[in-house]
Amino acid sequence: MTGLPKKTLLRVLNGESLKTPPVWLMRQAGRYLPEYKATRATAGGFLDLCYSPDHAVEVTLQPIRRFGFDAAILFADILLVPQALGADLWFETGEGPRLSQIESREDFARLKPASEIHDTLAPVYETVRRLSSELPAETTLIGFAGAPWTVATYMIAGRGTPDQGPARRMMYNDRALFSDLIDLITDATIAYLAKQVEAGAEVIKIFDSWAGALSGSAFEDFALKPAQRIAQALKAQFPGLPIIGFPRGVGGGYMQFAKSGDFDALALDSSVPAEWARDYLQPHVAVQGNLDPMLMVTGGPRLRVEVERLREILGDGRWIFNLGHGITPEADPRNVEELLNIIRG
């Protein structure tokens, strides 16, 4: 990566503070958009949508066409990696993902090595290649993966769980097996993300949605260190590659991510006080966030109040505007338009 970046997101990730922050929204391609629902209906199931480059490119581009966000994020799912490792994956209507469980050393032994994931994931790389050529020149392309801990919680439980109990039990009862699973997912994630970058992704984001379930040494060993290993490996292979971490729900643990030096930005969940982020995180990294996603449902005068509040607190530093988590299916696209009007003036 040579020269000074022209794209606003890359400028902030390279250290600039901009008067008008770059804007994109987690899950910006999704069920709140009628055009997404129409494409989803023609694609078939959710996994068909992820593995069809024609459909995945289309739904990734839809919010860019409609809103002109400063970044597009690849349309995929964090559970494609375990599927590529050999886990069975399916989606139950109205209930979310289901996977074959890893509960024993025998289950683990049936998984593939990280080097064998690429045949399954080849359609994802093709989607990235097409997006790289089809996006507007000013729009940054973000690739992503789930962090090893969050992916492991699904692989062990076979589904989402309220407290990540099955994964935490394995972590304490069979640390060797748990560590081996984390290491395998980490290796696979590095390989997966490297292929995304080779295909044209300009920024990588690592989603650790359930990092807040870990504490103490477990947080360091299974949230922080694997994310660092991914970031370090990618930066060694692609010098200058910007990486955004999202250790959702870790509170003060954000400081360890910020001070590690391995991340160019941190995405803040809605619970992180903006003043604290300004004082303790922005001196080290760019920050992204962290408007309550419910305001995309409700809109109204409070939307402007909360956006302006974030601008007042974070706007003088390195800041990327986003939500504190993904936009929900109940969101009103008109509220997204109003959001952009407020930010961009």
Taking the CA atoms of residue 47, residue 243, residue 256 and residue 292 in that order, the dihedral angle to the nearest 10 degrees is: -60
State both tokens at 194: 């490297």
Please enumerate in sequence order all residues whose Cβ is within 8 A of that of 262, keeping only pairs 6 or more positions apart, or say none: 227, 228, 231, 232, 235, 243, 245
Tell me whether residue 31 is one of the annotated catalytic residues: yes
E strand intervals along the chain: 71-73, 89-92, 96-99, 140-146, 203-208, 243-247, 265-267, 286-288, 319-320
DSSP assignments along 259-290, one per residue: HHS--SEEEPPTTS-HHHIIIIITTTSEEE--
Cα separation of 114 and 102, whole Å?
Answer: 16
Catalytic residue among 11, 40, 168, 229: 40
Tell me whether residue 248 is one of the annotated catalytic residues: no
Catalytic residue among 11, 27, 229, 248: 27
Tell me whether residue 254 is one of the annotated catalytic residues: no
Taking the CA atoms of residue 172, residue 325, residue 94 and residue 67 in that order, the dihedral angle to the nearest 10 degrees is: -150
**What does the buried/exposed string (b/e) look like for 271-302 if buried means 16 or more CB atoms within 10 Å of the residue's CB?**
ebebeebbeebbebbbbbbbbbbebbeebeee
**What does the buried/exposed string (b/e) look like for 142-153 if buried means 16 or more CB atoms within 10 Å of the residue's CB?**
bbbbbbbbbbbb
Cα separation of 115 and 130, whole Å?
Answer: 24
Residue 321 bridge partners (DSSP):
23
Please enumerate in sequence order all residues whose Cβ is within 8 A of that of 295, keeping only pairs 6 or more positions apart, or say none: 302, 303, 306, 335, 339
Phi-psi sector, 274: left (phi>0), alpha (psi -120 to 50), beta: alpha
Catalytic residue among 32, 36, 125, 154: 154
Cα separation of 170 and 149, whole Å?
Answer: 12
Catalytic residue among 32, 36, 51, 77: 77
Tell me whether residue 154 is one of the annotated catalytic residues: yes
Tell me whether residue 264 is one of the annotated catalytic residues: no
Contact 279, 252 (CB under 8 A): no
Cα separation of 64 and 68, whole Å?
Answer: 5
Catalytic residues: 27, 31, 40, 77, 154
